[in-house]
């Protein structure tokens, strides 16, 4: 699993998120313990029960569709320009994906979070501010980033909890994996990095998927952080190609 370094977009997210995290530092862990689901009062009772099923702590890569399954994962949103377009491409191809959301983005665009859920996709906690140096930070900081993002995403969704945790840039620690798993969020890796953040061109992204899908089923794209038109073009080409090769689309194992 490749390690992503910090980027300008993520630097701005981090600066914004640090303000959120600092304000929540004194209360986030206690809030999460008092209301683990973070669900509003109007959410179904099952979602408000506070019952969280623990999952495995190791980083998931496999698909719940087996050896010929593919997991499409979409990171860093939601974004008001690009997420709706990604959702349309996925719908046009009958594909369900896992959206790894940044807490501040989810908080800013709750309608988009609800749209993702309504379309049958799954949610993933991608921390409050996408700090790719998470693995060098204190356990208290990691807790705040993970638990505050979980709360933000759950609230924005109307009570639907994230089922996975993806560390920014793959910066997992044993502590963060254990914490996420204890909250019912399976640590989530990837096998194929399209590097769409570097804007290599849609053809290059498609070639990367074709050449590397044999490495494993979980493919990384983005729906935020800049112009994602190349990502859209790549998805339009690669999703039908994967179907033609006999792959089916599923979710990461939990």
> Catalytic amino acids?
75, 222
Beta bridge partners of residue 219, listed in sequence order: 72, 192
- Alpha carbon distances (Å) from 184 to 36, 51, 176, 220: 10, 9, 12, 22
Question: Distance between terminal CA atoms of the chain?
Answer: 18
Handedness of CA 126, 130, 132, 136 (dihedral sign): negative
CA distance linking residue 79 with residue 130, whole number of Å: 15
The tokens for 68 are 């010929």
Cα–Cα distance between 216 and 68 in angstroms, integer?
A: 10
Cβ–Cβ < 8 Å for 126, 101: yes
Helix (H) or strand (E) holding 100: strand 97-101
149/40 Cα distance (integer angstroms)? 16
With beta carbons less than 8 A apart as the criterion, state whether 218 and 194 touch: no
Tokens of 247: 């792959």
Q: What is the CA angle 136-137-139, rounded to 5? A: 125
Tokens, residue 14? 């981090």
């Amino acid at each position: 699993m490749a390690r992503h370094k910090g980027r300008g977009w993520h630097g701005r997210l981090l600066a914004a998120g640090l303000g959120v995290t600092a304000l929540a530092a004194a209360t986030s862990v206690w809030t999460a313990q008092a209301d683990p689901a973070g669900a509003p009062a109007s959410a179904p009772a099952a979602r408000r029960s506070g019952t969280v099923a623990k999952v495995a702590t190791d980083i998931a890569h496999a698909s719940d569709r087996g050896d010929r399954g593919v997991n499409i994962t979409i990171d860093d949103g939601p974004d008001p320009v690009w997420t709706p377009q990604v959702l349309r491409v996925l719908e046009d191809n009958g594909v369900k994906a896992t959206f790894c959301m940044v807490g501040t983005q989810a908080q800013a665009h709750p309608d988009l979070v609800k749209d993702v859920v309504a379309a049958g996709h799954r949610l993933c906690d991608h921390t409050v501010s996408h700090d790719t140096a998470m693995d060098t930070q204190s356990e208290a900081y990691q807790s705040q980033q993970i638990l505050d993002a979980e709360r933000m995403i759950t609230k924005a969704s109307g009570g639907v909890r994230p089922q996975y945790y993806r560390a920014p840039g793959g910066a997992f620690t044993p502590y963060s994996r254990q914490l996420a798993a204890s909250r019912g969020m399976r640590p989530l890796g990837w096998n194929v990095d399209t590097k769409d953040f570097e804007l290599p061109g849609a053809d290059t992204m498609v070639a990367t998927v074709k050449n590397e899908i044999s490495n494993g089923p979980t493919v990384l794209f983005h729906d935020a952080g800049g112009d994602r038109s190349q990502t859209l073009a790549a998805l339009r080409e690669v999703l039908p190609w994967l179907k033609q090769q006999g792959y089916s689309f599923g979710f990461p194992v939990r």
